[in-house]
Amino acid sequence: MTSEENNIPKGWTWFRLGDLVDNPKQDLVDGPFGSNLKSNEYTESGIPVFKIQNIKANKFLDKRISFVSEEKAKSLIRHSFQSGDLIITKLGEPLGLCCKVPSQYPFGIIVADLMRLRPSKSKIFDKYLMHAINSDIVKKQFKLITKGTTRARVNLTIVRDIRIPTPTLAEQQAIVAKIEELLSDLDNGKQQLLTAQQQLKVYRQAVLKSAFEGKLTNKNVVESELPEGWKWVTSGELFAFVTSGSRGWAKYYSNNGAIFIRITNMDFDSLELDLDTSNIQFVSPPSNSEGIRTKIQEGDFLFSITGYLGMFAIAPKLENAYVNQHVCLCRPKEGFNKKYVGYWIISRSGGHRYLNKNQRGAVKAGLNLDDLKSIPVPLASIDEQQAIVEEIESRLSVCDNIEATIEQSLKQAEALRQSILKKAFEGRLINDEKH
């Protein structure tokens, strides 16, 4: 037994997760193989299907619920849940997120990326187990058993061996009451921070809207009219070179080499690429490969053209970088301020709205090169463009500082949450000293 396993009060016991159910094979199961539940089998109503995006720590996210027919649900009965069960994620980062099935869902099916746990009422209090699974004491165990280099996942058989520090049922209930008392205040504070984050996003877009109505640099602006000296142009007049990325890059993936820009490196509300090394894929293409034509130059405009439309970035100086097939590379001409046009692209009332309005495809959203060449742009004089960029960035820098403070506060809140849980599962939350 490790020192950490010894670090529990007298009278507590370490139980395997698989021992905290009445029937190990039926009460702790994962979802069906992907081939047994396909997206084309989803219906508009019927039996609900929970997906990985619905499961958060201690919270069920009741959004975008899918359904299957009763007949299909019967064929997947082993992978069903009922209200009060615990659902755990077995894929993603972080994995091992756990919440209770809410009472409004008496029956349903889980997908392959989830596990369903039905705790034994005679062995453990369900909320105690839920909080334990979401604590660092179990998160560390999940990290040790994680497999997969691209998307982390865990094996159900090994999950059964995860160990839970367990007191008597009465003490479990007392611990949960104290946890929820403390976390209630913490969650209220966190919600206020998250609300402030959303308000900042609204403010950012309000700044951009005012900027491209001319209100930041002109005293007298007539609503719905361009300021004097402005004119409408199309993006095709501003770009000398437009190309979408090439396919077949997977065979060139490597641990180093050229940076490979994907949609995950872009954002909706920023002009900058996310070049965090943990989010970067590298490639080593041969000099005669077709994809060489999409080598990025400093100042190139990068657009998402499938899936999440409206993601955008202006390329910084990169020694060697390429784009994949979901990103379009546009090479600007001279004679305009690149940041000015970039801010117009990410404005919800400007280029972003145009791109989403013109998306193609009923199943998967997409854009073609003609769409990117026909974006309308309200063009001011080059001097006013520069003045507008300065006004925008002066205001957005204040947002950046506030957002940084909020992010730090959210991290501190999460650290406090884990401190509370750590004390709880070491038996120190409702007792000043260990037993």
**Cα–Cα distance list, 289 to 252, 300, 322, 393 (Å):** 10, 21, 12, 40
Which element (helix H / strand E) includes 379? strand 376-379
What's the pTM? 0.73
* Separation of alpha carbons 80 and 293, rounded Å: 50
* Separation of alpha carbons 408 and 400, rounded Å: 12
- CATH code for 3-166? 3.90.220.20
SS (H, E, C) 16-30: EHHHCCCCHHHHEEE
Residue 86 — φ and ψ, nearest 5°? -100, 135
Is residue 351 predicted with pLDDT exceeding 70? yes
Q: With pLDDT > 70 as the criterion, what percentage of the chain qualifies? A: 94
Region of poorest pLDDT, from 187-191, 223-227, 361-365: 361-365
Label the pairing between strands 231-234 and 376-379.
antiparallel
pLDDT value, residue 190: 92
Task: Place 152 in a pLDDT band, splitting at 50, 70 and 90.
Answer: low
Is residue 431 predicted with pLDDT exceeding 80? no
3-state helix, strand, coil split of the chain in percent (to 5) is: 40, 20, 40
Average pLDDT (183-193) is 93
Which element (helix H / strand E) includes 335? none
pLDDT value, residue 349: 92
Average pLDDT (187-191) is 92
**pLDDT tens across 394-403, in order?**
999 999 999 9
Would you list the domain boundaries of the chain?
3-166, 168-217+382-435, 231-379
Task: Place 435 in a pLDDT band, splitting at 50, 70 and 90.
Answer: very low
pLDDT value, residue 143: 86
Q: Which residue, among 34, 68, 35, 36, has the nearest Cα to 52 in the 3D structure?
A: 34
Task: Place 434 in a pLDDT band, splitting at 50, 70 and 90.
Answer: very low
**Cα–Cα distance list, 294 to 69, 307, 351 (Å):** 46, 20, 23
Contacts made by residues 35-43, CB under 8 angstroms, sequence distance 24+: 36/75, 36/76, 37/68, 37/72, 37/76, 37/109, 37/111, 37/112, 41/68, 41/69, 41/72, 42/66, 42/67, 42/68, 43/67, 43/68, 43/69
Task: Calculate ∠ Cα 419-425-430, nearest 5°.
Answer: 85
Task: Place 1 in a pLDDT band, splitting at 50, 70 and 90.
Answer: very low
Asked if 375 and 354 count as a contact pair (C-beta separation under 8 A), the reply is yes
DSSP string of 147-177, one letter each residue? B-SSS-B--HHHHTT-EEEE--HHHHHHHHH
* Separation of alpha carbons 287 and 282, rounded Å: 15
Give 68's strand partners.
47
The length of the chain is: 435
Average pLDDT (369-374) is 90
* Separation of alpha carbons 302 and 311, rounded Å: 8
* Separation of alpha carbons 116 and 87, rounded Å: 5
69: exposed, middle or buried (Cβ count in 10 Å: 0-12, 13-18, 19+): middle
pLDDT value, residue 24: 86
Query: Which CATH number is 231-379's, of 3.40.190.10, 3.30.70.2520, 3.90.220.20, 3.40.50.300?
Result: 3.90.220.20
Q: Is the Cα dihedral 343, 346, 347, 349 positive or negative?
A: positive
**Cα–Cα distance list, 119 to 46, 320, 358 (Å):** 26, 53, 50
Is residue 358 predicted with pLDDT exceeding 80? no
Q: Output the six-digit token pair for 101.
A: 């099935």
Asked if 14 and 3 count as a contact pair (C-beta separation under 8 A), the reply is no
Asked if 56 and 99 count as a contact pair (C-beta separation under 8 A), the reply is yes
pLDDT value, residue 3: 43
Is residue 363 predicted with pLDDT exceeding 60? no
* Separation of alpha carbons 270 and 356, rounded Å: 17
Residue 351, SS3 per DSSP: helix
Asked if 158 and 202 count as a contact pair (C-beta separation under 8 A), the reply is no
Is residue 7 predicted with pLDDT exceeding 90? no
DSSP string of 32-46, one letter each residue? PPGGGS-GGG-BSSS
304: exposed, middle or buried (Cβ count in 10 Å: 0-12, 13-18, 19+): buried
* Separation of alpha carbons 165 and 427, rounded Å: 9
Q: Output the six-digit token pair for 190.
A: 């966190």
Contacts of 134 (CB under 8 A, 6+ apart): 57, 58, 96, 97, 98, 421
Region of poorest pLDDT, from 61-65, 109-113, 324-328, 429-433: 429-433
pLDDT value, residue 315: 96
Which element (helix H / strand E) includes 303? strand 301-304
Average pLDDT (383-392) is 97
Is residue 5 predicted with pLDDT exceeding 80? no
**pLDDT tens across 19-72, in order?**
999 998 899 999 998 788 988 899 999 999 999 999 999 999 999 899 999 999
Hey, do 3-166 and 231-379 end up sharing a CATH topology, with the first three levels equal?
yes
- Return mean pLDDT, the chain: 90
**pLDDT tens across 257-304, in order?**
999 999 999 999 899 999 987 788 999 999 888 888 899 999 999 999
**pLDDT tens across 103-151, in order?**
999 999 999 999 999 999 999 999 999 999 999 999 899 888 876 545 5
